[in-house]
Amino acid sequence: MDLKEKLISSFLAFENNVDLDHPVHEVRSEAIKNFENKGFPSKKEEAWKYTSLNSLQKVDFSIFPKEESTLEYKDVKKYFLHEIDTYKIVFVDGVYSSYLSETTHDGVDVCLMSSAFSKPMFRQVIEVYFNKVASKDESLTTLNTAFSKEGAYIYIPKNKMPKKPIQILHLATGNEAALMLQPRNLIVAEDNAEVQIIERHQSLTDNEVFTNSVTEIFAGKDAIVDYYKVQNDAPTASLVDNTYISQKDSSVVRVHTFSFGGKLIRNNLNFYQNGERIDSTLKGVTILGDKQHVDHHTLVHHRQPNCESHQDYKGIFGDSSTGVFNGKIIVDKIAQKTDAFQQNNNILLSDRATINSKPQLEIFADDVKCSHGCTIGQLDEDALFYLRSRGIPKKEATALLMYAFANNVLESVRIPELKSRINKIIANKLGVRVGFDL
Amino acid sequence: MLEIKNLHASVEDKEILKGIDLKVNAGEVHAIMGPNGSGKSTLASVIAGKEDFEVEEGSIVLEGEDLDELAPEERAHKGIFLSFQYPVEIPGVSVTNFIKTAINESRKARGLEEMPANEMLKKIREKSELLEIDRKFLSRSLNEGFSGGEKKRNEIFQMAMMEPKLAILDETDSGLDIDALRIVANGVNKLRNKDNAIIVITHYQRLLDYIVPDFVHVLYNGKIVKSGTKELALELEEKGYDWIKQEATV
Q: Chain A residues with CB inside 8 Å of B51's CB? A: 385
* Structure confidence by residue, pLDDT tens digits, B54-90: 999 999 999 999 998 899 999 999 999 999 999 998 8
**Nearest C-alpha neighbor of A88 from the set A170, A159, A157, A158:** A170
The structural domains of chain B, with segments of one domain joined by +, span 31-52+71-249
Which three-class secondary structure state does DSSP give residue A3? helix
Question: Side-chain half-sphere of B215: how many Cα atoms within 13 Å?
Answer: 17
Distance from CA of A421 to the nearest CA of B (A): 14
Mean pLDDT to the nearest integer, B201-210: 89
Pairwise CB contact (< 8 Å): A383 & B90: yes
Would you give the distance in Å from CA A270 to the centre of its chain? 10
Distance from CA of A269 to the nearest CA of B (A): 27
Mean pLDDT of the region B174-191: 89
Residue A63 reports pLDDT greater than 60 = yes
Taking only the tens place, the pLDDT of each residue in A382-393 is 899 999 999 999
Residues recorded for chain B: 250
The three-state secondary structure class of B8 is strand
Closest C-alpha to A217, from A170, A168, A172, A171: A168
The 10s digit of each residue's pLDDT in A269-299 is 999 999 999 999 999 999 999 999 999 999 9
Shortest Cα distance, chain B CAs vs residue A318, angstroms: 22
Cβ-Cβ contacts under 8 Å for B235 (sequence gap 6 or more) = none
* H or E element, residue B63: none
CA within 13 Å, CB half, A90: 24
With cut-offs at 50, 70 and 90, classify the pLDDT of residue A70.
confident
B109 at A interface, C-beta within 8 A: yes
Pick A404's closest partner by Cβ from B81, B91, B104.
B91
Chain-centre distance for alpha carbon A331: 23
- A404/chain B closest Cα distance in angstroms: 5
Instruction: Name, in order, each residue with C-beta under 8 angstroms of A34's C-beta and a sequence gap of 6 or more.
Output: A136, A137, A139, A142
Contact B93/A400, CB-based, under 8 Å?
Answer: yes
User: What is the spatial distance between Cα A8 and Cα B92, in angstroms, rounded to a whole number?
Assistant: 50
Q: CA–CA separation, A224 vs A252, rounded Å? A: 5
Strand partners, B55: B9
Q: What is the mean pLDDT of chain B?
A: 92
Q: What is the pLDDT of residues A165-213, one digit of tens each?
A: 999 999 999 999 999 999 999 999 999 999 999 999 999 999 999 999 9
Instruction: Kindly report the backbone phi and psi dihedral angles of residue A204, in degrees, each rounded to the nearest multiple of 5, phi listed first.
Output: -95, -5
Which of B80, B88, B95 to mutate against chain A (most A CBs within 10 Å)?
B88
For residue A407, pLDDT beyond 90: no
What is the C-alpha to C-alpha distance for residues A256 and A198, in angstroms, rounded to an integer?
10
Can you tell me the distance from the alpha carbon of A266 to that of A258, in angstroms, rounded to the nearest whole number? 12
Check residue A437 and give its pLDDT. 47
List the single residue in A with minimal CA-CA distance to B51. Answer: A385
pLDDT band (50, 70, 90) for residue A433: low
Nearest Cα of chain B lies from the Cα of A434 at a distance, in angstroms, of: 6
Query: Is B77 within 8 Å of A380 when comparing Cβ atoms?
Result: no
On the CB side of A203, CA atoms within 13 Å amount to 25
User: What residue of B is the nearest CA neighbor of A385?
Assistant: B50
Query: Is the CB of residue B166 less than 8 Å from the CB of residue B197?
Result: yes
Mean pLDDT of A91-113: 96
Of A386, A436, A438, the CB nearest to B88: A386
CA–CA distance, A30 with A24 (Å, rounded to integer): 10
User: How far is residue A225's CA from residue A252's CA, in Å, rounded to a whole number?
Assistant: 6
Spatial distance between the Cα atoms of A31 and A15, rounded to a whole number of angstroms? 13
**Given A381, A391, A435, which is nearest B77 (Cβ)?**
A391
Beta carbons of A115 and A19 less than 8 angstroms apart: no
| Residue in chain A lying closest to B164 (CA) | A390
Of A386, A393, A404, the CB nearest to B105: A393
Which residues 35-64 of chain B have a CB within 8 Å of chain A? 45, 48-52
> Which residues in chain A are contacts of B106 at CB distance < 8 A?
391
Side by side, the strands of the sheet bearing A224-232 are A95-96, A87-92, A166-172, A194-203, A224-232, A252-261, A279-288, A308-317, A339-348, A369-377
Q: Which residue of B has its CA nearest to A395?
A: B73
CB pairs under 8 A between A and B: 85
C-alpha radius of gyration, chain A, whole number: 21
Q: Find out whether B80 and B62 touch, Cβ atoms under 8 Å.
A: yes
pLDDT tens digits for range A182-195: 999 999 999 999 99
Mark which residues 171-210 of B lie under 8 Å from A by CB.
none
Q: Helix H segments across A324-393?
A: 381-389
* Cβ pair B202, B219 in contact under 8 A: no
Q: Searching chain A, which residue's CA lies closest to the CA of residue B71?
A: A388
Complex-level ipTM: 0.94
pLDDT in tens, A297-326: 999 999 999 999 999 999 999 999 999 999
Closest Cβ opposite residue A390 in set B45, B52, B76 = B76
Nearest to residue A216, comparing CAs of A284, A295, A272, A279? A272
| Residues from chain A contacting residue B75 (CB–CB below 8 Å) | 389
Pairwise CA distance, residues A25 & B208, whole Å: 84
CA distance to A71, A391, B126, B148, B203, per residue, from B159 (Å):
55, 12, 13, 17, 21
Query: Residue B115's closest chain A neighbor by CA?
Result: A435
Q: Which of B84, B88, B105 sits opposite A392 (nearest CB)?
A: B105
| H or E, element range at A150 | none
Reduce the secondary structure of B146-174 to three states and give it as a string.
CCHHHHHHHHHHHHHHHCCCEEEEECCCC
User: One-letter amino acid identity for A199?
Assistant: E
Task: Quote the CA–CA distance of B222 and B6 in Å, as a whole number.
Answer: 11
- Confidence class of residue A328 from pLDDT cuts 50, 70 and 90? very high
Nearest by Cα to B172 from B157, B162, B161: B157
State whether residue B139 sits within 8 Å of chain A by CB: no
B74 vs B65: CA distance, rounded Å: 12
Helix (H, G, I), strand (E, B) or coil at B39: coil
Return d(Cα B182, Cα A402) in angstroms, integer: 36
Dist CA B192 CA A300 (whole Å) = 59
Q: Taking 80 as the threshold, does the pLDDT of residue B250 lie above it?
A: no
CA dist A147 and B180 (Å) reads 68
Can you name the CATH fold of B31-52+71-249?
Rossmann fold (3.40.50)
CA of B249 vs chain A CAs: smallest distance (Å): 34
Contacts of B49 in chain A (CB under 8 A): 388-389
As a whole number, mean pLDDT of residues A28-33 equals 97
Contact B84 A386 (CB under 8 A): yes
- Average pLDDT of the segment spanning A24-39: 96
Alpha carbon distances (Å) from B93 to A48, A64, A433: 38, 47, 13
Q: Do B109 and A391 touch (CB under 8 A)?
A: yes
